[in-house]
A and B are shown apart, each in its own frame.
Chain A
Amino acid sequence: MFDNLASLIVYQWMGLEADSHAGSALHFFIMDTAKIFVMLVVIIYLMGLLRAILSPEKVREYVRGKPKWLARSSAVTLGAITPFCSCSSVPLFIGFVEAGIPLGVTFSFLIASPMINEVAVVILLGILGWKLTLMYLAAGLTVAYAGGLIMESARPERWVEDYVWKIQMGEASLPKPDNSLTGRHRYAWGEVREIVGRLWKWVIAGIAVGALFHGYVPEGWVTEHLGGHDNWLAVPGAVLLGVPLYSNATGVIPVAEAMLGKGVAIGTTLAFMMSIAALSLPEMIILRKVIRWPALALYAGVLIVAFMLVGWGFNLLS
């Protein structure tokens, strides 16, 4: 349906050739924009209606006081279904510390939350199919679980800023949500506006990059430099390229789509996606308010190595 719409606009009305660079790039852009935005609105609205969007306060309540393995598993899974905004990572970190949740578990949550969320998962399904979605999910959850464990073994407590330990958190009794149908509708629509309002720039940028890649990068160049399974350097290259780049998990999907379409190996693409979504300089700078550089360097290092392993692993398997 979106394919036909884009064909109609680009090839019929605008008269571009389907095999020209501009034509195929524009076709990709229009098709993905329509498809992703329709999906975004529908998913977020439905989740809002079901009140399936978790707040960090609820996650904290749920994880606190659980045995460590259970705390970590639930932090990872709940992190995956909590929409993440890097502006709340500081209060979140402090809130978890204050609740006595081990730091390693908090790191697991901080890794999982930006990388995996239900919106990105549904869009991944729609754009790249269930196999790739499963791979991304499995790899992401594993990295978050293991990453937190490794962080913990380095005793990161010594790097936490002193004031963090002293903060006392109050108990808020948040007002009960209005669960009537109109109340749910209002809430769901508010979530749509809030989340789409926050995401749209990243998504458009991602689609534009994907479209340029799709239309202008020759396939021969890709297979030569990025496609070969024997090319071990492609994975670290993709990960390191992804570190300074930042987008959210939804914005990287169209880029991945274009890369896979041109024959970039699956592992390389997955490693690139994760590196872009999970590692970002702005988030590091924000987290610096609560932990010192050694912990942040370790955090970045652990994730970089983990994403390389994910990339090589999937390249070997496929």
Chain B
Amino acid sequence: MKHFKVLGSGCKNCEITANLIKTAAEQAGVEIELEKITDIAQIMSYGVMSTPGVVVDGQVVHAGGLPGPDLVRQWVSEKS
């Protein structure tokens, strides 16, 4: 199972990003684990300054702004 982390200290775009991932996973019928990281020290430990950031299985795949829907689908369905 893939493990997703959305990095962001509670801004609106972070919420939207988390929802995008959740919906994409449901649509693809893939089960994922989704975690929201709001602690700033933990966010920074990934080397991300512009939020929302997205981490898939420990790898930063996105930082800053909303990710495109294609991109989200790719994260969800790609074989790890």
Contact = CB atoms under 8 A, between A and B. Distances in A.
Given A87-B11, A172-B60, A174-B60, A194 B65 contact: yes
A170 B65 CA distance: 20
Interface in A286-318: 289
Contact of B50 (A91, A167, A173, A175): A91
Given A91-B44, A95-B44, A191 B65 contact: yes
B60 A91 contact: no
A172 B48 contact: yes
A57 B50 contact: yes
Interface in A46-64: 55-57, 60
B80 interface: no
Interface residues of B, number: 23
A57 B68 contact: no
Contacts of B78: none
A187 to B, nearest CB: 8
A113 to B, nearest CB: 12
Interface residues of A, number: 30
A91 B65 contact: no
A237 interface: no
A38 interface: no
B50 A190 contact: no
Chain A's interface: helix, strand, loop or mixed, by majority? helix
A91 B64 contact: no
Nearest to A175: B61
A90 B47 contact: no
B61 to A, nearest CB: 6
A92 interface: yes
Given A56-B49, A57-B50, A90 B63 contact: no
A190 B68 contact: yes
A91 B11 contact: no
A168 B9 CA distance: 17
Contacts of A173: 60
Contacts of B24: none
Given A94-B40, A94-B49, 12 more contacts: A55-B49, A55-B63, A57-B47, A57-B50, A87-B13, A88-B49, A90-B9, A95-B44, A167-B41, A172-B48, A175-B62, A186-B70
Interface of A: 55-57, 60, 85, 87-88, 90-92, 94-95, 98, 163, 166-175, 186, 190-191, 193-194, 289
9 contacts: A55-B49, A55-B63, A56-B64, A85-B50, A91-B48, A94-B44, A174-B63, A175-B60, A194-B66
Across the A-B interface, give the 8 residue pairs with the lowest CB-CB distance, nearest first: A172-B47, A87-B11, A170-B47, A95-B49, A172-B60, A91-B49, A56-B49, A170-B45
